[in-house]
Amino acid sequence: MKKALLLLSFLAATCFAAEIPESAKVGEFFAGCQAYSFRLYSVFEAIDKTAEAGGKTIEFYPGQKYDDKAKWDQNATPEMIEKVKAKLAEKGITAVGFGVVKLGKDAAADRKVFEFAKTMGISIVVSEPDVAGLDGIEKLVKEFDIKMAIHNHPKRPLDRAYLFWDPNYVLGLVKDRDPRMGSCADVGHWVRSGLDPVDCIKILKGRIFDSHLKDLTAFGDVKAHDLPFGTGKSNIAGILAEYHAQGFHGPVHCEYEHNWETSVPEIKQSLEFVKNWKPAK
């Protein structure tokens, strides 16, 4: 009985994609942009540019410019939130994620993040958390029915205490916890770390809730930069094939950190790659 209840809980927690409207699909996947791709612009411009590039979903990040006086984050006023919601509706963009935001050190601050996500209709909070605070985060995940996805940056040779780059480490943190605790798979950072992203995805099977997609100029080089999907060393086609095989259809987000002022055509090319990708018959 206990195993059956755990299975039902897992299935309930992993069906977020079904809550995203079908209109948010780009080909086989719910797809769009991490707003950090447009960090030089306001949150309203990020929504515009996501739509221009062909994205249907967006993952906000904390601290993006709202206007000349305010930042867009969990401290947003009700008026700010309503204006951003109106902009999303105008452009047909669905907000699905928020991060990378720090969690695990301050219970009141953590709650504020989850309250903001709930108000925005966002079901994934992305973090590189303080692992000592995971018990408190798990309580919020259960209370709000919002997923927490652990993000990975590249391996840091001068900081051996940083371990989120290792998918086995991330799995070890979440595998015995609520099934709404998992991974935001940044495939580009795995490539920078010299890891095969498809192998990493296989390790985290069933615990990936969100993915930052990057195709890079080189493998195993922390200085590698973004290229349009399908033209670099990340094996985006193989990544999408593995996601499809696992039954994970997003959200996946193009996070493009190159040509910051003129990146929309390259992001559009990347999302066209996602749109045109088809599973092997």
Residue 222 in any domain: the answer is: yes
Report how far residue 16's alpha carbon sits from residue 171's, in angstroms, rounded to the nearest whole number: 20
pLDDT in tens, 232-281: 999 999 999 999 999 999 999 999 999 999 999 999 999 999 999 999 88
CA dist 161 → 100, 137, 143, 164, 197 (Å): 19, 21, 31, 9, 22
User: Alpha-carbon distance 105 to 102, whole Å?
Assistant: 8
Residue 103: count of CB within 10 angstroms of its CB: 25
> What pLDDT, in 10s, does the model give residues 87-118?
999 999 999 999 999 999 999 999 999 999 99
Spatial neighbors of 47 by CB under 8 A, at least 6 apart, are 58, 84, 87, 88, 91, 93
Q: How many domains does the chain have?
A: 1
CATH number at residue 163: 3.20.20.150
Q: Are 148 and 181 in contact (CB under 8 A)?
A: yes
In this prediction, residue 19 carries a pLDDT of 80
- Mean pLDDT for the stretch of residues 129-153: 98
Is the model's pLDDT at 3 over the cut of 70? Answer: no
- Compare 211 and 20 and report the one with higher pLDDT: 211
The pTM assigned to this predicted structure is 0.92
**C-alpha distances out from residue 20 to 48, 93, 116, 170, 257, Å:** 20, 11, 18, 26, 26
246 is a domain residue? yes
Host domain of residue 208: 29-274
SS3 245: helix
Average pLDDT over residues 36-54: 98
Per the domain annotation, does 10 fall within a domain? no
Q: Does residue 18 surpass a pLDDT of 70?
A: no
Q: Does 39 reside within a domain?
A: yes
> Domain for residue 136, yes or no?
yes
Has residue 258 been placed in a domain?
yes
Inter-residue contact 137 to 174 (CB < 8 Å):
no
In a domain, 12, yes or no: no
pLDDT (0 to 100) of residue 1:
43
pLDDT at 2 over 50: no
**33, part of any domain:** yes
What value does the mean pLDDT of the chain take?
94
